[in-house]
Structure 1
Amino acid sequence: MKEIRCVVCGDEGVGKSTLILNLIKNEFLESVERCLPEVVIELDNNLHLIDTNEDNLLRQLKRCNVICLVYAVDNDSSIANISEWLAYFKSVGINHPIILIGNKLDINNPNYSFDNDIIPIMKQYKQIETCVESSAKLSLNVKELFYFAQRAVLHPTAPLYDSRLHTLKPASASALSRIFKLCDTNKDNLLDYDELNTFQLKCFNTTLNSKDFDDIIDLVSQHSPQTISKTSDDTTALTELGFILLHTIFIQRGRLETTWTVLRKFGYAQDLRLKEEFLYPNFPVNPDSSVELSPQGYSFFTEIFEKFDVDKDGALSEKEINDLFMTSPGNPWLNKGFPDTTLTDEKGAVTLQGWLAQWSMTTLLDHKTTLAYLAYLGYEAPISATVQDTTSALKTTPPRRRRSRDVGVVQRNVFLSYVIGAPGSGKTSLLRSLLNKPFVSGMSDTKSRSVSSGSSGGKGLSDSAASTGMLSVVNAVEMEGGGEKYLVCQEIDSNALKNTKKLQLQAADVVVLVYDCSDANSFAHLSQLHAIHKLENVPCVYVATKSDLDLAQQRHEVQPDVYCRRLNLNVPVAVSVKMNETAGLFQHICSVAGKPKQALPLGKRNAKGVLHVVSLLTIGGGLIGIAAVLAKWNWRPWSAHLVNVYRNVLGCSIGTAVTATIMIGYTMKTHGAALLAIAGLSSGTVLQKPADAVTCPSKLPVSCSVTHVDDTCCVETNGLLLLTQFWDWHYSPYEGHEDAWTLHGLWSDHCDGSYPQFCDRGMQLHNISSSILAAGETTLYAEMNDFWLDNRGHNDYFWQHEWNKHGTCYSTLKPDCRGGARSTDIMVDYFKKIVETYKQLPTYTFLEQKGITPSNTKKYKLHDIKQALKEAFGHEPTLHCDGGGDKVHEVWYFYNLVGNLISGQLLPREQASRDNCKAEVYYLPKHQSRRHNAQQVQMDEMVSEVESTQLVWV
């Protein structure tokens, strides 16, 4: 606290001004101003003394930290008014500590009795810290009363002590109990002389002599024999009860600064919670670096392991672990599979190797959790450390180069690997084998696990992936040539790969792709994921599990060995966990993580692979172009079938694909007669236009206005809609136009504000761009590329996520409600509706018309921004801010709906969620120009690329 504001108030004529003047001039003045100006006394915490009158009283009370309420001992009226003053403070919401001052003690008043007049008031109002009787005329207790005012702020009684019950409050007793446990270094539940001396040095920077120790023992033992006990060597020591009683006595004797000094030395704030900066000190980490334990960190966790290994069996039992975490909020891995995530003995107790491995994993995935628990468990930085906080227990690794193929050696001691594979491929069994745990027959892969990575700042999946769960395990791996590395393996649930918008696989040092070599369909899952999640710059290791079973021919265009060779990768490592044959797999994974260049996919491929890809691109480009032209003639269903032809061609031989291309070229000349033949050649079906959509009554209720909906095709069940826009000021180069907000989506929420997601797996789609172009919607495609942008440049995956997560949840968009329409047709209509709605909400223009434009220096009132948008939209939207809540980043416009989403009416409504912005905010300009040309259609670029590839092939 840099300053203490002390308001001096009371009845007129009680001597408020004379007390202040006596303090600063050290003399008594008969004649003084009616109300003195503010006085500042320069101390460690500058003391501001504020004299008051009726004009400034309330304003100053709301700004102050402590109140000096003055009465005159010779004035019965001022004594009687003390209760009225205290009631007034309560009525205006003031709850600051109060110093009661009885001034003019030099004047005798036979009617005044401190015991009868003041003590009852002090008992009634607990915010009264103390009462001091003084005399400005005699300079009696003037300095003391203002000292008590400072102390009431710096060392308040209220958080620590209940003056009515004369006991410590639960929070202070709990904090002192925790401090006792931390100081009990030998874990015998006693504080002996050596431990108390160490405590004295830490808190007060002075030693405790033997006489002082004996005095403490004598003092507390007078109150209760349970406050002291004998140690194993028959010396007297302090019990936990004695330690707490000692501080109770300090407080009762007015030595609050002693207890507060102890609490603050152990990281506690005024509210008796551990300070944020104590738990999470500043520890910057380069995005391409990882965090590991330093030698001091490993030493600390080794020492604390040995302290709590009471039976000295080399492992921590469940009880020993619970005792260890008594000074913290609890076991940080309680719901994350621990102790099955690390090495244990045959009884399930965590060994020292497993304990250190678990903390190595926690530090890698979420170093902030490690920092907090270092503080909880009592880590002390060495004297030689530059910064005396918990950061000396951690270190960062040199940044790794991700975009360069010349990556060299990765200098890390802890590696992170993601383990991916189809359900039933043996991922969980593989992870158990890393921990030397026995094979369990019939074990299924992880379906729902708690994520080992936690707060922001850690590595791992994004929030949406994390919600589906993954198992994390860790163990030390001995490397060839000596030394060891910690290997963290995270088993990623298959659903996370499908449903995640931003799956940060590049956070891993290596991706392990697992398939069951006895299951013919297992490998195809991996090749699809490899293509979807773009693993070009991520080291990959393919693993064939269950090698003890009969080898199955994989249903894939090429077999796994050939596939890996085409990617310039080693062939899959064959393992059998059941037979305990892992072929040095984990050493190999660590080797790849340390030297990733050997396992980066997409190196130089053989000539056949190049010709194969080029030919398919050529055919695909021709089919997409033809489909777009057909859609221009309003033949959307037929063009959609051409997309199916393209997909089928990808699965056939090059010769068949060329034949199909020639036939499609002939189709262009015959305008449709041959089109049906080609479609039949591809799918074996006759093309039909979809039936008309469901007919709804003319009068429909507004969504969310009725509790029960019978016809979900005509009344939207998820009827609270919100259109979201981004202002991406913090990306460089920025997204979209410098004078336009970008589009995020149109989401359907339940009427209570909760929301569904990924509702209909049968409606989910991939390759959104291809489907939109195949439908002939080139203008829509160009507009989406203009303002519906992913901040990482993956627009198609962004749109795919929006459709699969939100679009499939509209009840009025179900195929049965759309006359049996295909999901691709519904998807196109869905995106057209969103784009149309977005264009009706030019947020930048709304604000600009009210003089609100981006600025690096000017702050705007949040109310003014919301009012400008309200005037344009009709209702206040919700605003979201980042950067600490003072930088505008996102706007949500809310609607209800009459009818279905495509042809119904959107009705603007009031905001249904709270803002998270401060009262004044920045509306920052975007970083640098990267405009998009709405007339430039990316389809033309795709066709151009195909044509140029065709020339190279020829």
Structure 2
Amino acid sequence: MSLRIVVCGDDTVGKSSLIAAFTKEEFVSSVPGIIPPIVISKEDFETQRDASDEGDLNLLSLSDHLPDKTVIVDTRATDQAALSRELKQADVILLVYLDHYTYERVSLHWMPMFRAMGVNVPIIVCENKCDAVEKSSSSFKHIRSDEFMPLISDYKEIEACLRCSAKTNRNVVEAFYLCQRAFTHPISPIFDSKEGSLKAAAVEALKRIFFLCDGDQDGLLNFKEFSDLHMKCFSRPASQEQFDDILQTVDAIILPEDSTASSTRGISENAFIILNKIYAEKGRHETIWGIFRAFHYTNSLSLNDKFLYPKIEINQKSSVELSPTGYRFFVDLFIKFDKDNDGGLSEVELNNLFVPTPGIPKLWTETQFPSSIVCTEKGYVSLQGWLAQWNLTTFLDHKTTLEYLAYLGFDEGNSTKAIKVTKPRKLRQKQGKQYRGPVTDRNVFNCYIIGAPKSGKTSLLESFIHGTFSDIYLPTIKPKVCVKDIELRGGKQCYLILEELGELEPAILENQKRLDQCDVICYTYDSSDPDLFQYLVDLREKYHKLLDDVPSVFAALKADLDKQQQRSDVQPENYTRDLFLSSPSHISSSWTTSIHELFIQLVDAAQVPSTATPGLETHPDTKDFENVKPVVIAGGAIAVMAIFSVWIFRSAQRQSSSM
């Protein structure tokens, strides 16, 4: 990254002398009419720049944001072609004037010319040859006299104005420092000099930062929260004295009625915004940008795309799940916003949680959240459902999970630490038949529920999530998705995603990519209706080249009703036997055990595909099945630890309240 500063102004205002004094660090009495472009390295610029003042929040040094090189370009006002060419390449313009006449030319000639050319870069205005003016303090200051105020008010492009003298070396380094700062820490996105207020985008960003830093969500930044913010932004904690000074400055001392201890005081959201407005008015751009940059804001005050969407290599045959770090983050987030400790997030609590984000993810709306997960008796989002929903999101679109981790304040460095990529699914060959190898590291499995209308697919999904079903038949138009953790044999746990495809069924079954994402297909039919099994026979015949590679389980639903002989070319038991598959499982929503056993069977088929691949006669070695066990145990342990940590937290709260 490089910075190009173009120095322009009327002839004889001292542009070349100003550049020479900066590069030589002393006044040069004889300079050529125009100086060739000068390149200054980052290190050389740092040695020439004076240290900045420090105040309530320590100023952030430009060092971490300085361009690798700075190019300073001298110009002649009379050479219009060269001047125009250089201005169009400029990152910052240093506009120099000398006296009243050249000052008037700033408004009458130079600024209109810049706008006419479409040059929209920060401008620093410099009055040169101010030898007679009384020396200022050693540290540079913005001089907002009557002479400069009209310029700053009329032209938003002008970032700052100051007086310089190449002869006495007054404010020479400061002038180029302001050019650097205008590039690295621009004021225009933050502050409206005409209105004298922070811009809306800056206010929104500060509100989000305040929200994320308010760890206990009490509407105040206490000393610890403020010090943590200071550490994050400026690499050192704040002192109690700094905190007290800020409270006094913004008149934001808040004392609870029952306490006068200083440690209970805090900075409100409004006070935090006022504080940053003060910094902007004082020209303390570095401080504000130090805060914004620590929270990954760009110069346009949008979150950096690299922060929202970090690169991660994912094999086409791999899946993405939450890592233990991701589980821990979402459990902590749930606890933080479950204010009434009732084990569920109400609509208000859920909305509060998503304040620093664009809102509930679009993917959640598309999957009919919260009907897609387990909720509490009051209809609130349970911890079980909360973790399941994020597993669903990560499986279907990990980019959404990474994006929201960033919005929600995941602070473990790169948000990719919150997810894990599974090993690519391997294919095996036996007796001329291709099949999927055993799964060794997956904890989330995806199952398509397929069957004729009225076969009971929707009731199966309702029983999966709610444990109940409705007798009212409503045809499924849009796809339905639900997700839940299930307990396998031996107490092991994993997550199962069930998808009813609706009217998109043909399009999905023709899509090889979608079928590759599917771990197992559950073929369902109503065992009490003699006409529904033929639908599966016809469907599999139509798409057999694609479906034969996917592990399959057949389920005879509504088994509590009288079983009917199927009006089909082949009966279900014979059909599955010809495919070397297990006979259809007889399932009823009234038989809770049968439903749970079906879900376990689906997971088993997903874990060891060779046991449920149509047309594959030979069953796998027991060795293949044993390879799966450690993974399921690990996955189950993660979920159990997440739930257990909440139980411990709740117990501690109840004990403390009883005391």
Report the TM range for the smaller structure's normalisation: 0.7 to 0.9
Check 1:473–1:232 CA distance in 2 against 1; reply closer, same or farther (3 A cut).
Answer: farther
Determine if contact 1:423/1:494 at 8 Å carries over to the other structure: no
1:656 aligned residue = none
Distance of aligned partners of 1:146 and 1:398 in 2 relative to their CA distance in 1, 3 Å threshold: same
Q: Which residue of 1 aligns with 2:15?
A: 16
- What residue in structure 2 maps to residue 25 of structure 1? 24
The residue aligned with 1:145 is 175
C-alpha distance in 1, partners of 2:538/2:402?
A: 39
Note the alpha carbon deviations across 1:426-471, whole angstroms, 9 max, x for none. 21111111113421111324212xxxxxxxxxxxxxxxxxxxxx21
Task: Find 1:586's aligned residue among 599, 611, 632.
Answer: 599
Distance 2:258 2:408 in 1: 25
Counterparts of residues 363-762 of structure 1 (less than 5 Å)? 363-381=394-412, 388-404=413-429, 405=435, 407-448=437-478, 470-498=479-507, 502-503=511-512, 504-533=514-543, 534-578=546-590, 580=592, 581-582=594-595, 584-604=597-617
Which TM-score applies when normalising by structure 1?
0.58
**Alignment partner, residue 644 of structure 2:** none
3-state DSSP class of the match of 2:355? helix
Could you tell me which residue of structure 2 aligns to residue 287 of structure 1? 316
Q: Tell me, in whole angstroms, the C-alpha distance in 2 between the residues paired with 1:409 and 1:47.
A: 55
1:539 is aligned with what amino acid?
P
Of 287, 290, 297, 1:268 maps to 297
CA–CA distance in 1 between the matches of 2:144 and 2:366?
59
> 1:272 is matched by which residue type in structure 2?
L
Give distance in 2, aligned partners of 1:77 and 1:211: 47
Query: In the alignment, which residue of structure 1 is the partner of 2:285?
Result: 256
Indicate if the aligned counterparts of 1:67 and 1:149 stay in contact, CA closer than 8 A: yes
Kindly indicate whether the alpha-carbon contact (under 8 Å) linking 2:425 and 2:436 is maintained by their aligned counterparts in 1: no
- AA at the equivalent of 1:246: L
Residue range with higher mean Cα deviation, 46-55 or 115-124: 115-124
Alpha-carbon distance between aligned partners in 2 of 1:268 and 1:571, rounded to the nearest angstrom = 58
In 1, Cα distance between the equivalents of 2:15 and 2:115?
21
Deviation readout 1:107-139 (Å, 9 max, x if unpaired): 68xxxx984543212211111111111111121
2:129 matched to which residue of 1? 104
Q: Would the aligned equivalents of 1:514 and 1:544 in 2 still touch at CA under 8 Å?
A: yes
Counterpart amino acid of residue 32 in structure 2: E
State whether residues 144 and 161 of structure 2, in contact with CA within 8 Å, keep that contact through their aligned partners in structure 1.
no
Deviations 1:671-708, CA, capped at 9 Å, x for gaps: xxxxxxxxxxxxxxxxxxxxxxxxxxxxxxxxxxxxxx
Specify the code of the residue in structure 2 equivalent to 1:49: I
**Following the alignment from structure 1 to structure 2, what is the Cα–Cα distance between the partners of residues 260 and 502?**
48
2:71 is the counterpart of 1:48:
yes
Q: What aligned pairs does 1:837-848 form with structure 2 within 5 A after superposition?
A: none
| Mapped partners of 2:268, 2:476: distance in 1 | 47
Which residue number in structure 2 is paired with residue 674 of structure 1? none
CA distance in structure 1 between the partners assigned to 2:265 and 2:204 by the alignment: 24
Structure 1 residue 133 corresponds to structure 2 residue 133: no
Alignment match of 1:339 (pick from 361, 365, 370): 370
> SS where residue 494 of structure 2 aligns?
strand
Instruction: Give yes or no for contact 2:436–2:549 (8 Å, CA) kept in 1.
Output: no
For residue 549 of structure 2, what is the amino acid of its counterpart? N
| AA partner of residue 396 (structure 2) | L
Which has the larger displacement, 390-399 or 168-177?
390-399
- Tell me if structure 2 keeps the 8 A contact 1:11–1:78: no
Say whether the 8 Å CA contact 1:426–1:445 is kept in structure 2. no
CA-based RMSD:
2.1
For residues 388 and 504 of structure 2, the distance between their equivalents in structure 1, rounded to whole angstroms, comes to: 28
- Gaps (5+ residues) in structure 1? 382-387, 449-469, 606-954
Task: Please give the per-residue CA displacement for 1:353-403, whole angstroms capped at 9, x wherever unaligned.
Answer: 11111111111111111111111111111xxxxxx2111111111222135
Deviations 1:874-913 (A, max 9, x none): xxxxxxxxxxxxxxxxxxxxxxxxxxxxxxxxxxxxxxxx
> 1:8–1:51: 8 Å Cα contact kept in structure 2?
yes
| Structure 1 outlier segments of 4+, above 6 Å | none
Pair 1:117–1:192, CA change in 2 (3 A): closer
Q: Is the 8 A contact 2:523 2:553 kept in 1?
A: yes
- How many residues are aligned here? 569
1:58 aligns with 2:84: yes
- 1: CA distance, partners of 2:408 / 2:522: 35
2:223 corresponds in structure 1 to 193
Q: Which has the higher contact order (CA 8 A, sep 6+)?
A: 2
Matched residue SS, 1:22: helix
Distance 2:616 2:483 in 1: 31
Task: State the distance in 1 between where 2:186 and 2:590 align.
Answer: 65
Question: 3-state DSSP class of the match of 1:165?
Answer: coil
SS of 1:40's partner is strand
Over 3 Å counting, the alpha-carbon distance change for 1:406 and 1:303 in structure 2 is: closer
Report the alpha carbon displacement of residue 515 of structure 1 after superposing the two structures with TM. Answer: 1.6
Structure with max Cα Rg: 1
Partner of 1:243: 272
Secondary structure of 1:326's aligned partner: coil
What letter is aligned with 1:600?
A: T
Give the whole-Å Cα distance in 1 for the aligned partners of 2:384 and 2:346: 14
Structure 1 partner of 2:341: 312
Q: Secondary structure at the match of 1:590?
A: helix
Matched-pair contact (CA < 8 Å) for 1:541–1:589: yes
Structure 1 pair 543–128 and aligned structure 2 pair: CA distance change class (3 A): same
**Could you tell me whether the CA contact under 8 Å between 2:465 and 2:484 is conserved in 1?**
yes
Paired residue type of 1:63: Q
**Distance in 2 of aligned mates of 1:324 and 1:195:** 18
Deviation at 1:249, TM superposition (A): 0.9
1:494, distance to aligned residue in structure 2 (A): 3.9
Q: Hey, what's the Cα distance between the residues in 2 that align with 1:259 and 1:561?
A: 71
For 2:13, the aligned partner's letter is V
SS of equivalent residue, structure 1 residue 13: coil
Contact 1:439 1:578 in 2 (8 A): no
Question: Is the alpha carbon distance of 1:61 and 1:228 closer, same or farther for their aligned partners in structure 2, counting shifts above 3 Å?
Answer: farther
Letter in 1 for 2:24: K
Structure 2 residue identity aligned to 1:30? S
Aligned 1:829-868 pairs, distance under 5 A: none
Q: Which piece of structure 1 moves more, 483-492 or 405-414?
A: 405-414
Counterpart CA distance in 1 for 2:104 and 2:194 is 22
* Mapping for residues 33-44 of structure 1, pairs under 5 Å: 33-43=32-42, 44=66
CA distance in 2, matches of 1:197, 1:391: 27
**Structure-1 separation of matches of 2:455 and 2:439:** 31
1:730 is aligned to: none
Q: Distance in 1 between matches of 2:436 and 2:328?
A: 36
Using structure 2 for the length normalisation, give the TM-score.
0.83
| Cα distance between partner residues in 2 of 1:116 and 1:320 | 52
Shift of residue 80 of structure 1? 3.3
